[in-house]
Amino acid sequence: MLYLIGVGVGEHDVTEAGLDALKVSDVVFLDSYTAFVSNAKLEIIKKFSRNEIKTADRHMLEEGIDGILSMAESKNVSIITNGDPLIATTHKTILIEARKKKIPVKVVHSTAIFSVAIAESGLDFYRFGPVCTIPRWSEHYKPVSFYETVLMNHSNNLHSLMLLDYDSEKGISIRVEEAISIMENAEKHYKKGVMLSDKKIVMLCDAGTENQHITFTEIQKTRTDFNYKMAAIIIPAKISDIEAEYLEQTGTV
């Protein structure tokens, strides 16, 4: 049996179903590739695991997944991930490969950044368009195609939720300021103005956790002089009166 266990966004979002799965697991892996799991949450998990929790990096979860699946053919194997397990493409691929091998799979769902970020922003869930991720840039890798999603949402008067790429080596997402700089460069590439200098955005750092910091501010005034692990940005479309009232109350949380 293979268990894909989501442990949610907040410190206490580990579900009873997830803990029950850990109790019967012979082998437990912690996904260190797709998202960050806090030490406090990890301590909760360790109390219910009968065995040592092994770290699974990108190689183990992708190229080396056959090794994990081979174990699951005769043992109960769990893969723990932050948020909800089927948000990441990596975990969907694991589930597909397990089914091909006729390995029973149990998915334990929990809170995810999508629902938490939208809920905390106060913006209408039904007015969000497709989500995109702002990727980390490097010297020879500077993709801007994510911005096409923002442009499409903007043209349809829909809010844009943008996740910030996760750096598994550093255990944090890219910084908000870096993401804004990438967006500005993407906008220059497409030569279309969605991010005007006085445009306001919602910045969500560690949303859903005890350390969450949410700000509704002008893009050029965005600052993050505090520590955080994960972040997301929302560019609102035209906002309704109730959305405006909620956002203005938000200010900085």
**Predicted pLDDT at 253:** 43
Give the length of the chain: 253
3-state secondary structure of 108: strand
195-239 residue pLDDT tens: 655 688 999 999 999 889 999 988 877 878 888 999 999 999 999
Amino acid 194: pLDDT: 67
**Record: fold of 113-250:** 3.30.950
Confidence at residue 218, expressed as pLDDT on a 0 to 100 scale: 85
Residues of the chain with pLDDT under 70: 193-198, 251-253
> From CA 74, how far away is CA 1, in angstroms rounded?
8
CB 151 within 8 A of CB 189: no
- Residue 85: the pLDDT is 93
The answer to whether the CB of 103 falls within 8 A of the CB of 2 is: yes
Please, where are the H alpha helices in 73-165? 89-100, 113-121, 146-155
**4, β-bridge pairs:** 79, 107
The model's pTM is 0.88
Q: Which residue has the tokens 């005034």?
A: 221
Cβ(237)–Cβ(153) below 8 Å = yes
Domain limits of the chain? 2-108, 113-250
Fold of 2-108: Cobalt-precorrin-4 Transmethylase; domain 1 (3.40.1010)
